A = this chain, B = another copy of it.
Amino acid sequence: MKPQILCVGSGALGSYYSGILQRGGAETTLLCRSDYEVVKARGISVKSCDGDFFYKPDHVIKSVSELSYEPDFIFVFLKVLPEIDLVSIIKEAVAKKTTIVLVQNGIDIETPIQTAFPNNEIIGGLAFICCQRIDSGLIDHQDYGHIKIGTFPTGITEKGKIVQKLFEKGGIDCILTDDVIAARWEKLVWNAPFNPLSAILGGVDTKFMLEDEDCYELCEMVMKEVVKLSEANGHAVSEELVEKNLFYTKNMVPYKTSMCHDYENRRHLEVDAILGNAVRIADQLNVSVPHLKTIYTLLKQVDRKIRG
């Protein structure tokens, strides 16, 4: 029997990965908000570096009350923003058997969902992809696409293996990790400097940030603080990541982060998921992260300005 899934969110990630999961063998229901009419009528077109494709989700709904089955999995592709109350959005759809997969950026974002649904398995997911929503039902996938998942807080589970297979049958690489918290710290090593700074500095790319030696050093300091924090948090990532990330980013084509795009389009920023939660963990663990904290504070102000 096909796994029955609910995909929440028809932004770039939701639109792309829902198609992958359908291709991987799942019966899909896509929960849309503003895109509902267009997606229901016309499906989703993905202009992709791996080959363009088009699909219609098996079902398109506007609210989880319309869901026609108890889902085996709920995949969440929403941004983590204070005004998005994910628990309320999915509550009605969460059955006893449901596993919740959070394909979202940030640190410690599983905890509130685990607290709300203590008897459901929670899987964290991290997408490594350059992908933009051009319009309702129209996605531009420019590069990468692999995903990393792991049951929260730790361990390899059967459900994790099913999710991995769905993605891989759908055509993308999916790494299964037994420490998704470490995977989140690992991604934060890159995200913590480049995403916020690209917005704080008014919309700049990686080249701009790394060509000035003081700014390069600031990125390095922030990265080192994240590594230190991951150790204190008991999910240590390798310090080598710092120089690797810097070297790699300095040598890649100038890149605008997703937060840079959000900033330029005056969209709300994932301040807490990316930095605020990390700073709070640092405070709890009494780890000194002054650079990270300064960046967090400034990013929070940039977001305040966007929110007007």
- Which residues between 249 and 308 of chain A lie within 8 Å of chain B, taking CB atoms? 290-291, 293-298, 300-302, 304-305
Whether the pair B304, A221 counts as a contact (CB closer than 8 A) is: no
CB < 8 Å: which of B214, B290, B296, B302 contacts A300? B214
Report whether B297 and A215 are in contact in the complex, using a CB–CB cutoff of 8 Å: yes
- Closest-by-CB residue of B relative to A211 is B304
Across the interface, name the chain B residue whose C-beta is closest to A302.
B201
B217 touches A305 (CB 8 A): no
Chain B residue contacts of A176, Cβ below 8 A: none
Query: Is A85 engaged at the interface, CB distance under 8 Å to the other chain?
Result: no
B297 touches A208 (CB 8 A): no
Give chain B residues whose Cβ lies under 8 Å from the Cβ of A221.
Answer: 290, 294
Q: Does A240 contact B (CB under 8 A)?
A: no
* A200 within 8 Å of B (CB atoms): yes
Sorting the interface of chain A by its residue count into under 10, 10 to 19, 20 to 34 or 35 or more gives 20 to 34
CB distance from A215 to the nearest CB of B (A): 6
Instruction: Tell me, rounded to whole Å, the shortest Cβ–Cβ distance linking A287 to chain B.
Output: 13
Point out the residues of chain B lying under 8 angstroms from A305, CB to CB. Answer: 201-202, 204
Chain multiplicity (copies): 2
How distant is A298 from chain B, measured CB to nearest CB, in Å? Answer: 7
Q: How far is the CA of A290 from the CA of B295 in the complex (A)?
A: 11
- Minimum CB–CB distance for A111 against chain B, Å: 21
Query: Does A218 make an interface contact (CB < 8 A)?
Result: yes
**By the criterion CB–CB under 8 Å, are A212 and B294 in contact?**
no
Q: Which chain B residue has the least Cβ–Cβ distance from A218?
A: B297
Contact with B along A188-215 (1 / 0, CB 8 A): 0000000001001110100011001011
Shortest CB-to-CB span from A19 to chain B, Å, is: 38
Is the pair A295, B294 in contact by a Cβ cutoff of 8 Å?
A: yes
Candidates B202, B212, B294; contact of A218 at CB < 8 Å: B294
How would residues 17 to 54 of chain A score, 1 for a CB under 8 Å from any chain B CB and 0 otherwise?
A: 00000000000000000000000000000000000000
Contact residues in B for A300 (Cβ distance below 8 Å): 212, 214-215
User: Of B290, B291, B301, which one neighbours A201 at CB under 8 angstroms?
Assistant: B301
CB-CB under 8 A for A294 and B291, given A215-B301, A301-B212? yes
Cβ < 8 Å to B, chain A residues 195-250: 197, 200-202, 204, 208-209, 212, 214-215, 217-218, 221
Cα A208 to Cα B209 with chains together (Å): 26
Q: How far is the CA of A300 from the CA of B302 in the complex (A)?
A: 18
Q: How far is the CB of A195 from chain B (nearest CB, A)?
A: 15
Minimal beta-carbon separation of A217 from chain B (angstroms) = 7
Q: Could you name 21 residue pairs across A and B whose Cβ atoms are closer than 8 Å?
A: A197-B298, A200-B298, A201-B301, A201-B305, A202-B202, A202-B302, A208-B304, A209-B301, A212-B297, A215-B297, A215-B301, A217-B297, A218-B293, A218-B294, A218-B297, A290-B291, A290-B294, A291-B294, A294-B294, A294-B295, A298-B298
Beyond A212-B300, A214-B297, 13 additional pairs, beta carbon < 8 A: A200-B298, A201-B298, A202-B302, A202-B305, A204-B301, A209-B301, A212-B301, A214-B300, A215-B300, A217-B297, A218-B293, A218-B298, A290-B291
